[in-house]
Protein backbone atom coordinates (compact mmCIF):
# COMPACT_ATOMS: atom_id res chain seq x y z
CA UNK A 1 0.00 0.00 0.00
CA UNK A 2 1.35 3.40 -0.96
CA UNK A 3 1.66 6.24 1.54
CA UNK A 4 1.86 9.88 0.51
CA UNK A 5 4.50 11.99 2.20
CA UNK A 6 2.88 14.22 4.87
CA UNK A 7 2.86 17.97 4.58
CA UNK A 8 5.45 18.49 7.31
CA UNK A 9 7.99 16.29 5.56
CA UNK A 10 10.07 19.43 4.95
CA UNK A 11 11.11 19.30 8.61
CA UNK A 12 12.55 15.85 8.07
CA UNK A 13 14.20 16.94 4.84
CA UNK A 14 16.05 19.64 6.79
CA UNK A 15 17.15 17.12 9.39
CA UNK A 16 18.37 14.73 6.76
CA UNK A 17 20.30 17.51 5.07
CA UNK A 18 22.26 18.30 8.21
CA UNK A 19 22.81 14.61 8.96
CA UNK A 20 24.54 14.27 5.59
CA UNK A 21 22.05 12.09 3.73
CA UNK A 22 21.26 14.85 1.25
CA UNK A 23 24.63 16.56 1.18
CA UNK A 24 25.15 15.39 -2.37
CA UNK A 25 22.06 17.15 -3.71
CA UNK A 26 23.92 20.32 -4.76
CA UNK A 27 26.50 18.14 -6.48
CA UNK A 28 24.32 16.26 -8.94
CA UNK A 29 23.15 13.61 -6.53
CA UNK A 30 20.37 11.18 -7.27
CA UNK A 31 17.57 13.46 -6.00
CA UNK A 32 14.97 11.49 -8.06
CA UNK A 33 16.85 12.68 -11.16
CA UNK A 34 18.47 10.60 -13.93
CA UNK A 35 21.75 10.28 -12.02
CA UNK A 36 24.94 8.69 -13.38
CA UNK A 37 25.19 5.30 -15.07
CA UNK A 38 28.53 3.56 -15.37
CA UNK A 39 32.03 4.57 -14.36
CA UNK A 40 32.81 5.54 -17.96
CA UNK A 41 30.19 8.29 -17.87
CA UNK A 42 31.29 9.33 -14.37
CA UNK A 43 34.90 9.76 -15.53
CA UNK A 44 33.71 11.91 -18.43
CA UNK A 45 31.90 14.37 -16.16
CA UNK A 46 28.65 12.57 -17.03
CA UNK A 47 28.83 14.06 -20.54
CA UNK A 48 27.22 10.86 -21.76
CA UNK A 49 24.08 11.68 -23.74
CA UNK A 50 25.95 11.16 -27.06
CA UNK A 51 27.45 7.79 -26.02
CA UNK A 52 25.97 4.63 -27.54
CA UNK A 53 26.47 0.90 -27.83
CA UNK A 54 26.91 0.02 -24.14
CA UNK A 55 24.61 -1.36 -21.47
CA UNK A 56 24.74 1.96 -19.54
CA UNK A 57 22.95 3.68 -22.40
CA UNK A 58 19.85 2.48 -20.54
CA UNK A 59 20.36 5.40 -18.11
CA UNK A 60 22.55 7.81 -20.08
CA UNK A 61 20.46 7.93 -23.27
CA UNK A 62 18.10 5.05 -23.96
CA UNK A 63 18.44 5.61 -27.73
CA UNK A 64 22.04 4.38 -27.46
CA UNK A 65 20.80 0.88 -26.64
CA UNK A 66 20.11 0.42 -30.36
CA UNK A 67 23.83 -0.07 -31.11
CA UNK A 68 24.38 -2.91 -28.64
CA UNK A 69 25.47 -5.97 -30.61
CA UNK A 70 25.47 -8.76 -28.00
CA UNK A 71 23.40 -9.48 -24.94
CA UNK A 72 25.12 -7.68 -22.07
CA UNK A 73 24.82 -7.50 -18.30
CA UNK A 74 26.32 -4.69 -16.23
CA UNK A 75 26.76 -3.85 -12.54
CA UNK A 76 27.47 -0.33 -11.29
CA UNK A 77 28.42 0.84 -7.79
CA UNK A 78 29.01 4.37 -6.56
CA UNK A 79 30.02 5.85 -3.21
CA UNK A 80 29.75 9.57 -2.58
CA UNK A 81 31.98 11.37 -0.11
CA UNK A 82 32.72 8.13 1.83
CA UNK A 83 29.17 8.04 3.25
CA UNK A 84 27.27 4.75 3.24
CA UNK A 85 24.02 6.76 3.16
CA UNK A 86 24.94 7.99 -0.33
CA UNK A 87 25.68 4.66 -2.00
CA UNK A 88 24.27 3.76 -5.41
CA UNK A 89 23.96 0.29 -6.89
CA UNK A 90 22.52 -0.67 -10.28
CA UNK A 91 22.11 -3.84 -12.31
CA UNK A 92 21.23 -3.64 -16.02
CA UNK A 93 20.63 -6.27 -18.70
CA UNK A 94 20.33 -5.49 -22.43
CA UNK A 95 19.07 -7.96 -25.06
CA UNK A 96 19.28 -7.35 -28.85
CA UNK A 97 16.28 -8.59 -30.82
CA UNK A 98 17.47 -10.07 -34.13
CA UNK A 99 20.44 -9.03 -36.24
CA UNK A 100 20.54 -6.63 -39.18
CA UNK A 101 22.86 -6.92 -42.23
CA UNK A 102 26.47 -5.93 -41.57
CA UNK A 103 27.39 -2.29 -42.16
CA UNK A 104 30.95 -1.08 -42.75
CA UNK A 105 32.31 1.01 -39.89
CA UNK A 106 32.51 0.88 -36.10
CA UNK A 107 29.99 1.13 -33.32
CA UNK A 108 29.80 4.45 -31.49
CA UNK A 109 30.96 2.84 -28.28
CA UNK A 110 34.24 1.67 -29.86
CA UNK A 111 37.05 3.35 -31.73
CA UNK A 112 36.41 3.11 -35.48
CA UNK A 113 38.88 1.12 -37.56
CA UNK A 114 38.82 0.34 -41.29
CA UNK A 115 38.49 -3.41 -40.69
CA UNK A 116 35.59 -3.18 -38.25
CA UNK A 117 32.11 -4.21 -39.37
CA UNK A 118 29.06 -2.54 -37.82
CA UNK A 119 25.89 -4.39 -36.99
CA UNK A 120 22.84 -3.62 -34.93
CA UNK A 121 19.75 -5.49 -33.88
CA UNK A 122 17.15 -5.69 -36.63
CA UNK A 123 14.25 -5.41 -34.18
CA UNK A 124 15.90 -3.11 -31.67
CA UNK A 125 17.28 -3.70 -28.18
CA UNK A 126 15.35 -4.10 -24.94
CA UNK A 127 16.82 -3.53 -21.48
CA UNK A 128 15.78 -3.75 -17.85
CA UNK A 129 17.36 -2.03 -14.87
CA UNK A 130 17.15 -2.17 -11.09
CA UNK A 131 18.76 0.58 -9.03
CA UNK A 132 18.93 1.69 -5.41
CA UNK A 133 20.22 4.89 -3.83
CA UNK A 134 20.46 5.87 -0.16
CA UNK A 135 20.44 4.24 3.24
CA UNK A 136 18.03 3.46 6.05
CA UNK A 137 16.63 6.95 6.68
CA UNK A 138 16.11 7.87 3.06
CA UNK A 139 16.33 5.77 -0.07
CA UNK A 140 15.17 5.58 -3.68
CA UNK A 141 14.47 2.35 -5.54
CA UNK A 142 13.99 2.31 -9.29
CA UNK A 143 12.95 -0.46 -11.67
CA UNK A 144 12.84 0.37 -15.37
CA UNK A 145 12.40 -1.10 -18.83
CA UNK A 146 13.69 0.50 -22.03
CA UNK A 147 13.84 0.01 -25.78
CA UNK A 148 16.12 1.46 -28.45
CA UNK A 149 15.82 1.19 -32.23
CA UNK A 150 18.16 2.35 -35.00
CA UNK A 151 17.06 3.33 -38.49
CA UNK A 152 19.89 4.46 -40.77
CA UNK A 153 21.86 7.14 -38.94
CA UNK A 154 19.08 7.90 -36.44
CA UNK A 155 18.45 6.10 -33.15
CA UNK A 156 15.35 6.53 -30.99
CA UNK A 157 14.48 5.11 -27.59
CA UNK A 158 12.14 5.27 -24.63
CA UNK A 159 11.96 3.90 -21.12
CA UNK A 160 9.44 3.65 -18.28
CA UNK A 161 10.45 3.60 -14.60
CA UNK A 162 8.74 2.82 -11.36
CA UNK A 163 10.39 5.07 -8.77
CA UNK A 164 9.83 4.52 -5.04
CA UNK A 165 10.96 7.15 -2.54
CA UNK A 166 11.02 6.02 1.11
CA UNK A 167 11.60 7.93 4.34
CA UNK A 168 11.91 6.04 7.60
CA UNK A 169 8.87 6.62 9.79
CA UNK A 170 6.90 8.42 7.08
CA UNK A 171 6.31 5.68 4.54
CA UNK A 172 6.91 5.69 0.82
CA UNK A 173 5.53 6.96 -2.47
CA UNK A 174 5.65 5.21 -5.83
CA UNK A 175 5.38 7.00 -9.17
CA UNK A 176 5.77 6.16 -12.85
CA UNK A 177 8.22 8.12 -15.03
CA UNK A 178 8.73 8.30 -18.79
CA UNK A 179 11.95 9.17 -20.64
CA UNK A 180 12.65 9.70 -24.35
CA UNK A 181 16.01 9.80 -26.12
CA UNK A 182 17.39 10.31 -29.59
CA UNK A 183 20.77 10.25 -31.36
CA UNK A 184 21.95 10.99 -34.88
CA UNK A 185 25.28 10.44 -36.60
CA UNK A 186 25.84 13.80 -38.29
CA UNK A 187 29.11 12.59 -39.79
CA UNK A 188 29.32 8.78 -39.62
CA UNK A 189 32.02 7.54 -37.22
CA UNK A 190 33.10 11.12 -36.49
CA UNK A 191 30.37 13.46 -35.20
CA UNK A 192 27.18 12.51 -33.34
CA UNK A 193 24.44 14.39 -31.51
CA UNK A 194 22.34 13.08 -28.63
CA UNK A 195 19.41 14.42 -26.61
CA UNK A 196 17.14 13.06 -23.90
CA UNK A 197 14.17 14.22 -21.83
CA UNK A 198 13.79 12.66 -18.38
CA UNK A 199 10.38 12.63 -16.68
CA UNK A 200 8.55 14.13 -19.63
CA UNK A 201 5.23 14.07 -17.72
CA UNK A 202 6.59 16.18 -14.80
CA UNK A 203 5.31 13.55 -12.36
CA UNK A 204 4.23 14.84 -8.94
CA UNK A 205 5.93 13.26 -5.92
CA UNK A 206 4.05 15.01 -3.07
CA UNK A 207 1.24 17.52 -2.72
CA UNK A 208 3.17 19.67 -0.24
CA UNK A 209 4.71 22.59 -2.15
CA UNK A 210 3.75 20.75 -5.35
CA UNK A 211 6.91 18.67 -5.12
CA UNK A 212 7.71 16.92 -8.40
CA UNK A 213 10.32 14.53 -9.74
CA UNK A 214 12.87 16.67 -11.64
CA UNK A 215 12.32 17.10 -15.37
CA UNK A 216 15.75 17.16 -17.02
CA UNK A 217 16.69 17.93 -20.63
CA UNK A 218 20.14 16.91 -21.87
CA UNK A 219 21.79 17.58 -25.24
CA UNK A 220 25.36 17.04 -26.38
CA UNK A 221 27.86 16.25 -29.11
CA UNK A 222 30.46 13.52 -29.48
CA UNK A 223 33.40 14.08 -31.86
CA UNK A 224 36.17 11.67 -32.86
CA UNK A 225 39.14 13.53 -34.39
CA UNK A 226 40.89 10.14 -34.64
CA UNK A 227 40.23 6.50 -33.86
CA UNK A 228 41.91 6.91 -30.45
CA UNK A 229 40.28 10.12 -29.19
CA UNK A 230 36.71 11.01 -28.28
CA UNK A 231 35.65 14.55 -27.26
CA UNK A 232 32.30 15.19 -25.59
CA UNK A 233 30.40 18.35 -24.69
CA UNK A 234 26.96 18.51 -23.13
CA UNK A 235 24.48 20.79 -21.42
CA UNK A 236 21.97 19.57 -18.86
CA UNK A 237 18.99 21.66 -17.74
CA UNK A 238 16.70 20.84 -14.84
CA UNK A 239 13.60 23.00 -15.23
CA UNK A 240 14.08 24.29 -11.66
CA UNK A 241 17.88 24.74 -11.67
CA UNK A 242 20.61 26.47 -13.62
CA UNK A 243 22.13 24.73 -16.63
CA UNK A 244 25.07 22.40 -16.07
CA UNK A 245 27.77 22.41 -18.78
CA UNK A 246 29.90 19.28 -19.01
CA UNK A 247 32.90 18.15 -21.04
CA UNK A 248 34.77 14.87 -21.35
CA UNK A 249 37.89 13.50 -23.06
CA UNK A 250 38.54 9.84 -23.76
CA UNK A 251 41.88 8.53 -25.05
CA UNK A 252 42.45 4.92 -26.12
CA UNK A 253 46.23 4.33 -26.62
CA UNK A 254 45.70 0.59 -27.19
CA UNK A 255 42.47 -1.38 -27.81
CA UNK A 256 42.27 -2.75 -24.27
CA UNK A 257 43.01 0.45 -22.28
CA UNK A 258 41.20 3.79 -22.08
CA UNK A 259 41.95 6.93 -20.06
CA UNK A 260 39.27 9.56 -19.34
CA UNK A 261 38.88 13.10 -17.94
CA UNK A 262 35.77 15.17 -17.25
CA UNK A 263 34.51 18.51 -15.90
CA UNK A 264 31.09 19.79 -14.83
CA UNK A 265 30.38 23.50 -14.33
CA UNK A 266 27.31 23.61 -12.06
CA UNK A 267 28.68 21.13 -9.55
CA UNK A 268 32.27 22.41 -9.95
CA UNK A 269 33.41 18.82 -10.14
CA UNK A 270 36.44 17.27 -11.85
CA UNK A 271 36.71 13.57 -12.65
CA UNK A 272 39.10 11.02 -14.11
CA UNK A 273 39.12 7.31 -14.74
CA UNK A 274 40.38 4.24 -16.56
CA UNK A 275 38.77 1.46 -18.57
CA UNK A 276 40.13 -2.01 -19.27
CA UNK A 277 38.79 -4.53 -21.77
CA UNK A 278 39.50 -8.11 -20.64
CA UNK A 279 37.94 -10.61 -22.99
CA UNK A 280 34.18 -10.45 -22.50
CA UNK A 281 34.55 -8.13 -19.51
CA UNK A 282 34.65 -4.33 -19.57
CA UNK A 283 36.01 -2.90 -16.29
CA UNK A 284 35.76 0.83 -15.57
CA UNK A 285 36.76 2.95 -12.59
CA UNK A 286 36.33 6.67 -11.96
CA UNK A 287 37.03 9.15 -9.17
CA UNK A 288 35.41 12.58 -8.94
CA UNK A 289 36.34 15.50 -6.71
CA UNK A 290 34.07 18.31 -5.53
CA UNK A 291 35.85 20.97 -3.46
CA UNK A 292 33.18 21.39 -0.79
CA UNK A 293 32.18 17.73 -0.40
CA UNK A 294 35.23 15.66 -1.36
CA UNK A 295 35.67 12.47 -3.37
CA UNK A 296 33.22 10.11 -5.03
CA UNK A 297 34.21 6.71 -6.42
CA UNK A 298 32.56 4.78 -9.25
CA UNK A 299 33.05 1.20 -10.42
CA UNK A 300 31.25 -0.66 -13.20
CA UNK A 301 31.64 -4.12 -14.68
CA UNK A 302 30.03 -5.22 -17.94
CA UNK A 303 30.02 -8.67 -19.51
CA UNK A 304 28.89 -9.65 -22.99
CA UNK A 305 27.03 -12.94 -23.20
CA UNK A 306 28.51 -14.75 -26.18
CA UNK A 307 31.41 -13.90 -28.48
CA UNK A 308 32.43 -10.25 -28.51
CA UNK A 309 32.48 -8.54 -31.89
CA UNK A 310 35.81 -7.33 -33.23
CA UNK A 311 36.60 -3.78 -32.16
d(CA 118, CA 311): 10
CATH superfamily of 9-304: Outer membrane protein transport protein (OMPP1/FadL/TodX) (2.40.160.60)
Three-state SS for the chain is: CCCCCCCCHHHHHHHHHHHCCCCCHHHCCCCCCCCCCCHHHHHCCCCCCCCCCCCCHHHHCHHHHHHCCCCEEEEEEEEECCEEEEEEEEEEEEEECCCCCCEECCCCCCCCCCCCEECCCCCCEEEEEEEEEECCCEEEEEEEEEEEEEECCEEEEEEEEEEEEEECCCEEEEEEEEEEEEEEEEECCCEEEEEEEECCCCCEEECHHHEECCCEEEEEEEEEEECCEEEEEEEEEECCCCEEEEEEEEEEEECCEEEEEEEECCCCEEEEEEEEEECCEEEEEEEEEECCCEEEEEEEEEEECCCCCCC
The answer to whether 80 touches 290, Cβ cutoff 8 Å, is no
- pLDDT at site 206: 77
d(CA 276, CA 255): 9
Q: Compute the average pLDDT of residues 33-38.
A: 88
- What are 262-304's pLDDT values in tens digits? 999 988 999 999 999 999 999 999 999 998 889 999 999 999 9
Q: Compute the average pLDDT of residues 45-72.
A: 95
- What are 162-187's pLDDT values in tens digits? 999 998 888 888 999 999 999 999 99
- pLDDT at site 295: 92
**Spatial CA neighbour of 105 closest among 147, 156, 69:** 69
- What are 225-270's pLDDT values in tens digits? 999 999 999 999 998 888 999 999 999 999 999 999 999 998 899 9
Could you tell me the pLDDT band of residue 194, with boundaries at 50, 70 and 90?
Answer: very high
- pLDDT at site 241: 86
This prediction's pTM: 0.83
Amino acid sequence: MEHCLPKYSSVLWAGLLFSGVLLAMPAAAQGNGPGVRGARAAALGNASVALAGEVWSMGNNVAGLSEIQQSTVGFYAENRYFSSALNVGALTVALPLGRSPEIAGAASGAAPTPATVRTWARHGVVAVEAQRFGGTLYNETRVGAGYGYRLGQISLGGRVDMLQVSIEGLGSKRVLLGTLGGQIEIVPQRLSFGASLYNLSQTKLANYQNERVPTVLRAGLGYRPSSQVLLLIETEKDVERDANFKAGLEYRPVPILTARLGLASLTKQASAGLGVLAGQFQLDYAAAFQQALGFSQHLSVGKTLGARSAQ
